[in-house]
Amino acid sequence: MERILVIDDEASIRKALQIGLASEDFEVDLAGDGISGIQLGQKRSYDILIADLCLPDINGLEVIKEIRQSTPDIIPIVITGKGNMDSSLEAIRLEVSDFLEKPLSLSSVKDSIARGIERRALKRQAVEDKVHQKLLSDSLTGLAARSLFMDRLQKAISRIKRDNNRSFAAFLIDIDQFKVVNDAYGLNIGDRVLSELSKRFKTCIRPTDTIARMDGDEFAVLIEDSEGYEKVIEIAEHCRNAAEQAFVMDGNRVNISVSIGIVMKTVFCESPDEVLRDAEMALSHCKEQGRGRVKVFDKKMLEQALESLQLENDLRRFSIGQAGKQRLGD
């Protein structure tokens, strides 16, 4: 239920609005002067404020200003006499929702309230959308954030499951030894390198593809409906070459290289986490073989990782068993 505060020095107007609006399931409180209205507005929270511009003790816009300090989201509607709008600029500054001229009609008041409620809903939605967009964008680079990338990756996986003719490729890009850049030139230049690198990467992909900053100095690229193995490799090489061009920052020439791990046969992946796991595995092979490389994931990498993990577990169990036997011997 919307709560309305009516402030007007004419008792007939107050009474008519109270009866007429109460019948529409509004909760209505009344005040006959500005000071009383301010006191009510500070005690209770109202959704809508209908105030006469010319009150006996204080200007109606001053009343709105005072009440908005405690209820910023209130919808202010001003009642005016004909030609009585000398304070129109102040009314705009206070975001007055509507102006109603006397004599009032109940239908015009109801229409004004409906418009105000709709505007407030749109304003709230715009604020929520802005906050949501910030959560989906990386503040430093302006690229997609990890959450947005994972969402798009999940949708790409779902499309492949529905249609085997669809395809996508994903790869991770990691800056080699980026800590050295931060240590040598400072975090500010490090951030500027990341920002400039992001702009370069964006020129390497198609408008339909997604590039995101995942964390720190790691980026991810999603290529949907990829045009074959060679095209994906070409895009990755473009990204690698773009990164290797020197960055000139405050007279310093900063040189970096990147390693890229690619996942092509994404039809085998059931979730975004599995895609990233395979890309990380390919990236690790890049690092093992030297920096500034591009490596495509294959299933042998996963098999080798599982064998290595199994061997490590077996050795751990053997060590625990040997330690137990030694204690029993003691």
> Average pLDDT by consecutive 10-residue portion of the chain (330 residues)?
92 93 89 95 93 91 91 90 59 81 90 92 80 78 92 89 84 94 94 96 92 94 86 94 94 94 79 91 86 85 58 58 56
d(CA 272, CA 48): 47
Q: Kindly list the structural domains of the chain, giving each domain's residue range(s) and its CATH number in brackets, ordered by start.
A: 3-134 (3.40.50.2300), 146-317 (3.30.70.270)
Evaluate the CA torsion angle 298, 303, 305, 308 in order and state its sign.
negative
Dmax over Cα atoms in the chain, in whole Å?
Answer: 105
Q: Is residue 29 classed as helix, strand or coil in its secondary structure?
A: strand
d(CA 330, CA 326): 6
The secondary structure of residue 266, as a DSSP letter, is G
Q: What angle do CA 286, 288, 291 make, to 5 degrees?
A: 55
Q: Which pLDDT belongs to residue 86?
A: 54
Q: Which pLDDT belongs to residue 166?
A: 80
d(CA 149, CA 168): 13
Q: Which pLDDT belongs to residue 269?
A: 76
Q: Which pLDDT belongs to residue 164?
A: 77
Q: Which pLDDT belongs to residue 314?
A: 52
| Nearest CA-CA partner of 4 in 25, 23, 22, 27 | 27
Q: Which pLDDT belongs to residue 12?
A: 93
